């Protein structure tokens, strides 16, 4: 459900949608169709879908286009409206939308909060002063990784949008529930009309490489992500086990060292140089490729790869060498 390429500038639409209980699978399938339709529009850079999490109860869909005009062409199109009419049966209330326009968006394995504010024109200076006070205070909290402030996007969004990033959900929650933040919110009571949305991209840095070495957004499908990690993790763990076995370390030490090494190997070798090149077309299918064909091809590559490794390790550990 993702197709991406880098450009000098992007405009990003973040859409939140509550889904009726028991309709998640139908919604996800419907959303794949919407993303496929969006990919045919000029300026489309990518689409990402994140299911609900403990931090974020809504489904979150992120669209990236190369200009405001191209995003408007898609969001106002009859094609999108037709899809929305068909998907209305899965919605639990209206969707929310935030739009930001900036340079290229990096893959973000961090936890990100998106907040939009309605700011009257005569209050902009006060709002900016209040935001500076907010940033000064939140930067003192553990795990803070930065913030960005975006002005309204003419023709798409009248609100100001702020992004806050933390390195974990726990550190983010510590800031959101802190007395310091409550005090600053009270000071800015006149800006209390806001919406907040949290996005957490799991395994973000493991899927941040294209063939040309540039970074790309992580794949949105949790199922594809899990299978891709499995494809990389199995040979990594088995090979490390074979390498460490002559040391005859106690089990608890062996696992301690093995897990540490596998984390580094997965992050710096296995994922960028083995899994991403092998499954790149499946993880980030080109817009013109039918979803069913892409899924079958990707699952076939996964199955064939795992059968290959299983046969290799059977021969190595049973026929050629038995672990001591």
Q: Give the model's confidence band at 155: pLDDT under 50 very low, under 70 low, under 90 confident, else very high.
A: low
- CB-based contact 222:51 (threshold 8 Å): yes
DSSP, collapsed to helix, strand or coil, labels residue 223 as helix
pLDDT of 169 reads 77
d(Cα 183, Cα 176) in Å, to the nearest integer? 11
d(Cα 270, Cα 266) in Å, to the nearest integer? 5
Helices (H), the chain: 24-38, 68-75, 78-87, 124-138, 169-176, 179-187, 222-244, 251-265, 276-283, 291-314
3, pLDDT greater than 50 = no
Which tokens hold the place of 142? 């553990």
CATH of domain 110-200: 3.30.70.100
Q: What is the DSSP string of 20-69?
A: -TT-HHHHHHHHHHHHHHHTTSTTEEEEEEE---SS--SEEEEEEESSHH
8, pLDDT greater than 50 = no
- CB-based contact 107:217 (threshold 8 Å): yes
Interior angle at CA 17, CA 167 and CA 99, nearest 5: 65
Tens-place pLDDT, residues 241-250:
888 888 888 9
pLDDT of 293 reads 84
pLDDT of 182 reads 87
**Average pLDDT of the residues of the chain:** 79
CATH of domain 1-103: 3.30.70.100
234, pLDDT greater than 90 = yes
- CB-based contact 197:58 (threshold 8 Å): yes
Category of 206 on φ-ψ map: left (φ > 0), alpha (ψ -120 to 50) or beta: alpha
pTM metric for this prediction: 0.43
Q: Closest Cα to residue 160, out of 131, 198, 199?
A: 131
Q: Give the model's confidence band at 30: pLDDT under 50 very low, under 70 low, under 90 confident, else very high.
A: very high
Tens-place pLDDT, residues 259-307:
889 888 988 889 888 988 898 888 777 666 677 888 898 899 999 999 9
Name the segment(s) of the chain with CATH classification 3.30.70.100. 1-103, 110-200
């Amino acid at each position: 459900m993702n197709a991406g390429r880098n450009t000098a500038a992007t405009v990003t639409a973040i859409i939140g949608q509550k889904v009726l209980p028991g309709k998640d699978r139908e919604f996800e399938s419907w959303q794949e169709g919407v993303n496929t339709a969006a990919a045919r529009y000029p300026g489309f850079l990518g689409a990402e879908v994140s299911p609900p999490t403990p931090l974020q109860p809504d489904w979150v869909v992120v669209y990236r286009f190369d200009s405001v005009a191209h995003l408007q062409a898609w969001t106002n199109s009859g094609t999108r409206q037709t899809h929305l009419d068909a998907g209305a049966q899965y919605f639990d209330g209206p969707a929310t939308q935030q739009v930001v326009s900036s340079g290229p968006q990096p893959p973000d394995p961090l936890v990100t909060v998106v907040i939009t504010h309605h700011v009257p024109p005569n209050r902009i200076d006060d709002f900016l002063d209040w935001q500076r006070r907010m940033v000064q205070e939140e930067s003192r909290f553990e795990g803070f990784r930065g913030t960005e402030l975006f002005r309204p996007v003419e023709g798409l969004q009248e609100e100001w949008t702020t992004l806050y990033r933390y390195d974990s959900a726990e550190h983010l929650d510590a800031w959101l529930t802190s007395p310091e933040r409550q005090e600053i919110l009270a000071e800015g009571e006149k800006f209390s009309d806001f919406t907040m949305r949290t996005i957490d991209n799991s395994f973000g840095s493991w899927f941040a490489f294209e063939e040309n070495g540039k970074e790309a957004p992580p794949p949105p499908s949790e199922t594809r992500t899990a299978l891709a990690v499995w494809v990389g993790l199995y040979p990594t763990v088995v090979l490390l086990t074979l390498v460490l076995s002559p040391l005859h370390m106690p089990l608890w030490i062996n696992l301690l060292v093995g897990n540490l090494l596998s984390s580094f190997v997965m992050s710096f070798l296995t994922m960028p140089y083995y899994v991403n090149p092998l499954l790149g077309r499946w993880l980030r299918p080109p817009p013109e490729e039918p979803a069913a064909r892409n899924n079958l091809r990707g699952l076939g590559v996964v199955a064939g790869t795992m059968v290959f490794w299983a046969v290799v390790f059977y021969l190595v550990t049973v026929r050629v060498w038995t672990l001591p």
